[in-house]
Amino acid sequence: MSTFLGMPLGRVPGPAADTAVGHLTGDRTFPEEAREALADTRLRRNLGHATSTIRAKRAAVVGEVPDWEALRSAGSAIKADTMARLPELLEQLEAAVIARGGVVHWARDAAEANRVVVDLVRATGASEVVKVKSMATQEIGLNEALEAAGITAHETDLAELIVQLGHDRPSHILVPAIHRGRAEIRDIFAREMPGVDASALTDEPAVLAAAARSHLREVFLRARVAVSGANFGVAETGTLAVVESEGNGRMCLTLPETLITVMGIEKVVPTWRDLEVFLQLLPRSSTGERMNPYTSTWSGVTPGDGPQEFHLVLLDNGRTRALADDLGRTALHCIRCSACLNVCPVYERTGGHAYGSVYPGPIGAVLTPLLTGVTGEADPNDSLPYASSLCGACYDVCPVKINIPDLLVQLRAEHTEAHAAHHRVPTAEAAAMAAAAWVMGDATRFARAGRAAGTARHG
């Protein structure tokens, strides 16, 4: 028996496409967005300071591990095995979750996932939810879907809270508010945070954190429904895992009566022993820590302890499209550590908003086009594979050895072919490359071209 959630292999033009893919496509191409970002000196200063700090922390803790390269190889091998057996493992995960009192929902795209979550929240009678930081819910635009249904979503991760109160968009996988400085955050809190004493609010990190803690404490105590993502789902036991640094995740996962988890189907791992590998790779690669301050795991429902209703929404939204590509499926190995963003010279100068997608940086430049498809038309995502110098730093730091440069080159080739299929008259660049390929494809032609060039130079 096989499991294929699927997503149409071509996006339907118009509003329906935006509904289907959520926050995976921007309004403008990367070059257009990047030019604007490069002119923002404060943005570049914030990004440069933050990424250099994280790089240094990561390098220090990775250097302490004598078998780091062996761990990377193990992580890569586990992910390759998982992708090869994904239907089987997802069915095993589903059965284990159900056996422990949970309910599993399958969502083909963003619209279906949002509909499932909204219906589940409505069934509880709640008008608000608390949220653990989740790339999957950002990807599908869940907050906007909840708001349209009259349900308030409260982000509880500090950086996500800053983004939400600032009516902003995340610009980094790990640190969504990396583009904001302390003074900007202080102004956002003073202007938008309910009940805050603006006169006593300074831009000191401890003061800002205390204000957020006071605000969130009230929200935690009254919330009846929580929505989370999942860093991993263990197929053999039906266990979900969330790792975080602030403790807000632990509050969301234990206090509410109902817990709804949205998980991309690629996040499954076969066994607890496999999880052990990733719990060593992830914190060092992401936050530069030896281990996560908070690692929460749960399996279904335990009477009298924690949420008494648990729902798992398994999200496709283009992932089976990527899975069908022999090289592209390696992008699904990503564990969302953001190490590639922190070493990328392009990301460091433009920030995450330039990519349009909720997934920025090198991994976003390959993952987003793989999820949505390369059209060959004037689609913003078609420009993403070119948002790289191909320096290879992203491959060097990836904890699961995703060869991002190779993926970028492949996607560039696919874009070139798709563009040619849609346009009868080639661009000047395409014509020049075709001519060069013809000349270089034959030794005799190449030698003649070399002699002609030499004659022309001396003429």
pLDDT digits (tens, 9 = 90+) for 39-90: 999 999 999 999 999 999 999 999 999 999 999 999 999 999 999 999 999 9
Least confident of 5-9, 129-133, 182-186, 434-438: 5-9
Contact status, residue 262 vs residue 140, Cβ threshold 8 Å: yes
Whether the pLDDT of residue 297 is over 70: the answer is yes
Least confident of 111-125, 165-179, 320-334, 424-438: 424-438
Contact status, residue 231 vs residue 266, Cβ threshold 8 Å: no
Beta strands per DSSP E along 14-169:
103-107, 128-131, 152-155
- Residue 118 CA to residue 137 CA, distance in Å, equals 12
Mean pLDDT (the chain, rounded): 91
- Residue 3 CA to residue 130 CA, distance in Å, equals 31
Whether the pLDDT of residue 3 is over 60: the answer is no
User: Above pLDDT 70, what percent of the chain?
Assistant: 93
Domains belonging to the chain, first-starting first, are: 30-59+340-422 (no CATH), 64-188+221-320 (3.40.50.10420), 428-457 (no CATH)
Q: pTM of the predicted model, to two decimals?
A: 0.89
pLDDT band of 425, cuts 50, 70, 90: low
Q: Residue 57, exposed/middle/buried by CB under 10 A (0-12, 13-18, 19+)?
A: middle
- For residue 458 the two structure tokens come to 């001396």
Whether the pLDDT of residue 2 is over 70: the answer is no
pLDDT band of 21, cuts 50, 70, 90: low
Whether the pLDDT of residue 345 is over 80: the answer is yes
pLDDT band of 364, cuts 50, 70, 90: very high
| Mean pLDDT value across residues 14-24 | 53
Residue (of 32, 30, 58, 62) closest to 347 by Cα position? 30
DSSP 97-111: HHHTT-EEEEESSHH
| Mean pLDDT value across residues 415-444 | 77
Residue-level pLDDT at 423: 64
| Mean pLDDT value across residues 168-172 | 93
pLDDT digits (tens, 9 = 90+) for 95-140: 999 999 999 999 999 999 999 999 999 999 999 999 999 999 999 9
Residue-level pLDDT at 452: 81
